[in-house]
Amino acid sequence: MTIITGYIAKAAETKLVDGVGTVTNFTVAKNYINRKGEKVAKFIKCSGWNDKYSKIAKYLYTGRVVEIQGELDAEAYMDKSGKPAAQLVMKSPFIQLFGSATKPETDVVVETVVESGDPDDTPFA
């Protein structure tokens, strides 16, 4: 079980899947400082496959602090230039919301940094 506290980087989207039910997708960003002292972010794509997620989707707005718990995995895909890439995923995580239930009147600014492929960027050694 992995526990990650971060910011909602991409607001929740709920879709109806024929014969299965609803799926709610959102992205969580985890910021840290690498060994070189640079700010970097890891993005975790999350998906929830039950009504609980569709009910809380309106509270999963960009910039909101959340804690997710679940099994962290990696999925391979081809990027826009046709090169193989990977993304972190967590399916049906337990989620804890922090902060206000309503979206702030002003836009929340979340600093995001492009992820580096340097092996020295690991947060723990």
Tens-place pLDDT, residues 5-21:
999 999 999 998 888 88
The pLDDT score that the predictor gives to residue 111 is 44
Q: In the chain, helix, strand, coil percent, each to 5?
A: 10, 50, 40
| pLDDT beyond 60 at 119 | no
pTM above 0.85, yes or no: no
CATH of the domain at 71: 2.40.50.140
Measured between alpha carbons, how far is 16 from 67 in angstroms, rounded to an integer?
A: 25
Specify whether the CB–CB gap between 96 and 67 falls below 8 A. Answer: yes
Number of structural domains the chain divides into: 1
Within a domain: residue 111? no
Q: Could you list the residue range(s) of the whole structural domain that residue 83 is in?
A: 2-105
**Cα 8 off chain centre by:** 6
44-92: pLDDT as tens digits: 999 988 888 888 999 999 999 999 999 999 999 999 999 999 999 998 7
Specify burial of residue 66 (Cβ count, 10 A radius: 0-12, 13-18, 19+): buried
